[in-house]
């Protein structure tokens, strides 16, 4: 198996009112195939599952927030290596899309959202949730920050093309919350179904700036820069994980959820830039 590739560090740009420490992204290289683009994605990690052709004793489907795409591929590979009887398949999308899938009875075993509000709305369908990580927003801008976006207030500048996650998406709610708190009026050129789509718009030059999670910007440090938002102006995103009551592999699903809080899993999450729960 090839050694993981260390990505370029996240370039952060200090605002006019705060000094910013550099965030070093320690993302492990994806070791799993991923289908789709920008929106809902599915992947089955291809890490070692033990002895050759032996079928796994449990195949779990994990519905996870889009911002977990890269880190959960790495986490899934690590989990399969240490739990050769379990095979993981991930489906990534905006948390609101995942909630809709659960309500419609989509077959799955574990749910991980980017906010507690979405998870709380599914109490009848899930076990008790556990927050496994936290995150913060940054302003993603083109490489070199060509539009000279220095702080949150600059997003209201006339002519600046800003893209945000849609209001029903956790990242969209967090974004609107911090903009409203500063009385900053932003008319986005588009509102995306998940935070990865916001990032993609900035990467492709279709937007000058967008509010994304710090971890998303870290994973695209070779294409975008990140303008840090001071803690006093920012919002904290919490990621709860829970088993689904419809799971046919309740014991294996509970074991994976519990593992996400272990030192091994937390080291992977910290390396990707997620904060302690």
CA distance 212 to 170: 11
Cα dihedral 145→147→150→151 (10° resolution): -120
- In this predicted structure, the answer to whether residue 63 has a pLDDT above a threshold of 50 is yes
Band (57; pLDDT cuts 50, 70, 90): confident
User: What would the mean pLDDT of 7-31 be, rounded to a whole number?
Assistant: 43
Going from N- to C-terminal start, the domains of the chain cover: 12-134+239-271, 135-233
pLDDT band at residue 171 under the 50/70/90 scheme: very high
For the cut 60, the answer to whether the pLDDT of residue 235 exceeds it is yes
pLDDT exceeds cutoff 60 at 14:
no
- Mean pLDDT for 193-202 is 96
- CATH class for the domain made up of 12-134+239-271: alpha beta
Q: State the first-to-last Cα distance of the chain, in angstroms, to the nearest integer.
A: 31
Q: Is the pLDDT of residue 136 over 90?
A: yes
Q: What is the CATH architecture assignment of 135-233? A: 3-Layer(aba) Sandwich (3.40)
Q: 35-44, 91-100, 223-232, 254-263: which range is least confident on average?
A: 35-44
- The pTM for the full model equals 0.79
pLDDT of residue 54: 46
Q: Would you say the CATH fold of 135-233 matches that of 12-134+239-271?
A: yes
């Amino acid at each position: 198996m090839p050694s993981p590739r260390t990505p370029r560090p996240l370039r952060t740009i200090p605002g006019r009112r705060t000094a910013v420490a550099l965030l070093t992204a320690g993302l492990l290289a994806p070791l799993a195939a991923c289908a789709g683009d920008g929106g809902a994605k599915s992947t089955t990690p291809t890490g070692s599952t033990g002895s050759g052709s032996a079928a796994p004793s449990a195949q779990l489907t994990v519905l996870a927030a889009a911002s977990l795409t890269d880190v959960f591929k790495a986490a899934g590979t690590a989990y399969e290596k240490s739990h050769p009887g379990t095979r993981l398949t991930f489906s990534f999308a905006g948390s609101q899309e995942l909630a809709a899938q659960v309500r419609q009875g989509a077959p799955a075993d574990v749910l991980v959202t980017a906010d507690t509000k979405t998870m709380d709305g599914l109490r009848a369908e899930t076990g008790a949730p556990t927050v496994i990580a936290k995150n913060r927003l940054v302003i993603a801008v083109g490489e070199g920050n060509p539009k000279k976006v220095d702080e949150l207030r600059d997003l209201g500048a006339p002519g600046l093309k800003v893209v945000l996650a849609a209001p029903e998406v956790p990242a969209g709610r967090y974004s609107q919350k911090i903009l409203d708190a500063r009385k900053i009026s932003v008319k986005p050129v588009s509102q995306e179904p998940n935070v990865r789509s916001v990032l993609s718009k900035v990467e492709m030059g279709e937007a000058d700036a967008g509010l994304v999670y710090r971890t998303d910007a870290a994973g695209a440090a070779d294409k975008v820069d990140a303008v840090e938002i001071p803690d006093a102006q920012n919002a904290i995103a919490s990621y709860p994980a829970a088993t689904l009551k419809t799971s046919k592999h309740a014991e294996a699903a509970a074991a994976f959820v519990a593992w996400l809080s272990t030192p091994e899993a937390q080291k992977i999450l910290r390396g990707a830039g997620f904060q302690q729960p």
